[in-house]
Amino acid sequence: MSRSPHPRRRATLASLASELNVSRTTISNAYNRPDQLSTELRDRILQAAKRLGYPGPDPVARSLRTRKAGAVGLVIAEPLTYSFSDPAALEFVAGLAQTCEEAGQGLLLVAAGPGRSLADGASSVLSAGVDGFVVYAAAGDDPYLKAVLDRRLPTVVIDQPREVPGASWIGIDDYAAMRELAEHVLGLGHREIAVLTMRLGDRDGEVALVDEDRLRASTFHTQADRIAGVRDAMAAAGLDPAGLTLVEALRQGPTAGGAAAELALRSNPRLTALLCTADALALSAMDYLRGHGIYVPGQMTVTGFDGVPEALRRGLTTVAQPTVAKGRRAGELLHHPPRSGEPVIETLPVELIRGRTSGPPAG
């Protein structure tokens, strides 16, 4: 391609300038303000750049000078391996990525792996060259979230936790959504129901029954709010919320919902409805039930939450979240911040999907 060998030392804007006997400003202008110099000179510069293997202004140096990185950082509390197998998270990322693409910005996936000590864990966040952060569904005490806030960059929190000072928030009304879903189920006549929830905080094991203390100590507000919605719907229907069977799936994975369903049914064999706080849980529970000859919805009503494609395809009764829109709004907030400069709190609408997995209880 290039005839002359490349110099060992990388070409820089300065070296190009001295080579051509023009000032550094002029080279800079050739790239950033083409209208500030003659076409002729500019062509000469670009040609020389090609000859010398100068790839254009160094992005890092430019960032330092302009105080703009041209990218937003995305922090997901879970290991990326999980996130990439979570359809809801994926849709969110897709929405965010769309706006980044439109804005010509990069999207930096920040490593937030298992090394979750404050010292080490936060380092990746601290060293990310970005103009703003999106934090996806973090626990209230997440060290990465803390590290992000310390950076004092524009930040958008998704779902979780609520009310982070200085940060914008985008999410849904988890309480109302789940309450409406519960009312639908109770309206069908169910009286013995269980909630299968995602994990409420750190704890070992696979699945576990949840007691009052555990629930109160939850660092995941979304989950707690959804449970509260169910309880209040029960109370409003004249049932004792204390009678709710509550099981927590501590690990992700394709069998989590099944294991949770099994524990719930063992704990209360008279259950006729399993309300799951995630579609993934519900789909897994359905697989388990089918494997054990329990017919849905004839013998058991199952509901989900999120409205991921597979759930809709399989006719799951669920609450559809505007997952892609969440991602888009987060991106827009960062790319085009509101004039006021104030953090924004946005509650997005959801839709109750009455699918084929809910029906009146047997008998």
37 part of the interface to DNA, by CB under 7 A: yes
CB closer to DNA out of 127 and 340: 127
Q: Does 62 bind DNA (CB under 7 A)?
A: yes
Q: CB of residue 44 vs DNA: minimum separation in angstroms?
A: 9
In the complex with a copy of itself, the residue whose CB is nearer, 19 or 173, is 19
- Interface region with DNA, contact rule CB under 7 A, candidates 64-72, 75-83, 87-95, 276-284: 64-72
Q: Which of 319, 255, 263, 246 is nearest to 281 (CA)?
A: 255
Contact predicate 284/320, CB 8 Å: no
Q: Which is nearer to DNA, 64 or 118 (CB)?
A: 64
Write down the least CB distance from residue 206 to DNA, Å. Answer: 43
d(CA 220, CA 76): 14
The 3-state secondary structure of 152-213 reads: CCCEEEECCCCCCCCCEEEEECHHHHHHHHHHHHHHCCCCCEEEEEECCCCCCCCEEECCHH
Looking at the Cβ atoms of 70 and 241, the one nearer to a copy of itself is 70
Alpha-carbon distance 225 to 231, whole Å? 10
- Smallest separation, CB 235 to a copy of itself (Å): 37
First to last CA, the chain: 80
Member of 22, 71, 74, 244 binding DNA (CB under 7 A):
22
Least CB distance to DNA at residue 64 (A): 4
Q: How far is the CB of 63 from a copy of itself (least distance, A)?
A: 5
Q: Is residue 284 helix, strand or coil?
A: helix
Q: Is residue 13 near DNA by the rule CB under 7 A?
A: yes
Cα gap 91→224, rounded to integer Å: 23
By CB under 7 A, residue 240 contacts DNA: no
Partner in contact with 37, chosen from a copy of itself, DNA, none, beta carbon below 5 to 8 Å by kind? DNA
Residue 118 binding DNA, by CB under 7 A: no
The correct pick among 35, 204, 211, 213 for binding DNA (CB under 7 A) is 35
194 CB-contact burial (10 Å; exposed 0-12 / middle 13-18 / buried 19+): buried
C-beta atoms surrounding 292 within 10 Å: 11
Contact call for residues 175 and 163 (beta carbons, < 8 A): no
How far apart, in whole angstroms, are the C-alpha atoms of residue 186 and residue 48?
75
Residue of 61, 34, 58, 62 whose CA lies nearest to 46: 34
Shortest separation between residue 58's beta carbon and DNA, angstroms: 3
**Does residue 23 belong to the site contacting DNA (CB under 7 A)?**
yes
| Residue of the chain from 6, 7, 18, 36 that contacts DNA (CB under 7 A) | 36
Cβ-based neighbours of 350, under 8 Å, separated by 6 or more: 172, 173, 177, 319, 320, 321, 322
Chosen from a copy of itself, DNA, none, partner binding at 115 (C-beta under 5 to 8 Å by type)? a copy of itself
195 binds, among a copy of itself, DNA, none (CB under 5 to 8 A by kind): none
Q: Determine the Cα–Cα distance for residues 49 and 95; give it in Å rounded to an integer.
A: 38
The answer to whether 25 contacts DNA (rule: CB under 7 A) is yes
User: Binding residues for a copy of itself, per CB under 8 A?
Assistant: 1, 10, 53, 55-56, 58-64, 69-71, 73, 79-81, 84-85, 90-91, 93-94, 97-98, 100-113, 115, 123-124, 126-129, 150-152, 165
Point out which residues bind DNA (CB under 7 A): 10, 12-14, 21-26, 28-29, 31-32, 35-38, 41, 56-58, 61-62, 64-67
